[in-house]
Amino acid sequence: MGDVEPSVLELRGVSFAYPRGSSVFDHVDLSLRPGQRIALLGANGSGKTTLLRILVGLAKPMTGTVHLDGSTLTGTRDDRTRLRTRVQMVLQEPDDQIVGATVRADVSFGPSNLGLDRAEVVARVDEAMAALGVTELADRIPNHLSFGQRKRVTIAGAVAMRPQVLLLDEATAGLDPRAVEDLLDTLTALSTTGTTVVLATHSVDIAWTWSQEAIVLNGQAVRRGYTHDLLTDDELLTGAHLAVGWGAAVSRRLNRTVLRPDDV
């Protein structure tokens, strides 16, 4: 992909299968470098969440290794701590992740457990809440918020950790179009500061408009490439049970129009 910076997080030869089940993916090699915006695409049940869970250390691959800053993670306490401070995952359901009595308390939970001084925690929390547009909700009880508001709170909690890699599982699901646009703008801004953002989605249109690169889960195979290249590959999308996005369709139509001999 033309990257020159070293990987922050990497999978080498990773395979995974559920107990007494079929293989989800086989011998996956994947590297994440600073500032990348990557869409992880696949139909429901294709293994998107599983791949994210392996990256963040919540699931163990059957074969292969996970590497952080070039060193192999072996599951020690020190490794788990390093991974937790460098890589954050936002779950699809916000209620599975919210633990604080108020929005501020929830966003503060992670930084407070890093042993930071109070001033640093406050600075991180204020910055994260502002980035996700939830500052005015700081003293509200999370359970009293809308689904979209709760989702933004969980993302703010992850952002307050200032991770190098941010993994989001269907973060746009359940959001209205304006909220989706605002969230994608926030994720783009994070990537410009060097945060690697991986957004798992089944929406080809969101991947087309936001990501620079895409990863497509197609059965046991995993394909990675530039978003434009993968999302104009009808055979790949059909095999992965993904619809052709409007952006890809328009792009293909324009290319055909430009290249038609009688238009020259």
Answer whether residue 261 shows pLDDT above 60: no
Closest CA to 110 of 77, 66, 45, 157: 157
pLDDT in tens, 118-136: 999 999 999 999 999 999 9
Half-sphere exposure of 19 (CA within 13 A, CB side): 2
Q: Taking a C-beta distance cutoff of 8 angstroms, is the pair 168, 119 a contact?
A: no
Cα-atom radius of gyration of the chain, to the nearest Å? 19
CATH classification of the domain holding 17: 3.40.50.300
Q: Please, which pLDDT band fits residue 184 given cuts at 50, 70 and 90?
A: very high
What's the number of domains the chain is made of?
1
When pLDDT is cut at 50, 70 and 90, the band that residue 264 belongs to is very low
Give kind and range of the element (H or E) at residue 143.
none
Residue 61 within any structural domain of the chain: yes
Q: Assign 97 to helix, strand or coil.
A: coil
Residue 47 belongs to domain spanning:
9-258
For residues 250 and 47, the model is more confident at 47
Give the tens place of pLDDT for each residue, 75-99: 899 999 899 999 999 999 999 999 9
Predicted confidence at residue 243, as pLDDT, reads: 82
Please give the pLDDT value at position 45. Answer: 84
In a domain, 264, yes or no: no
- Tell me if 3 is assigned to some domain: no
Q: Tell me the pTM.
A: 0.90
- Would you say 78 and 52 are in contact if contact means Cβ atoms under 8 Å apart? no
Residues 242, 203: Cα–Cα separation, whole Å: 8
Examine residue 19 and state whether it is found in any structural domain, yes or no.
yes
132 or 252, which is more confident: 132
Has residue 213 been placed in a domain? yes
224 neighbors 41 (Cβ within 8 angstroms): no
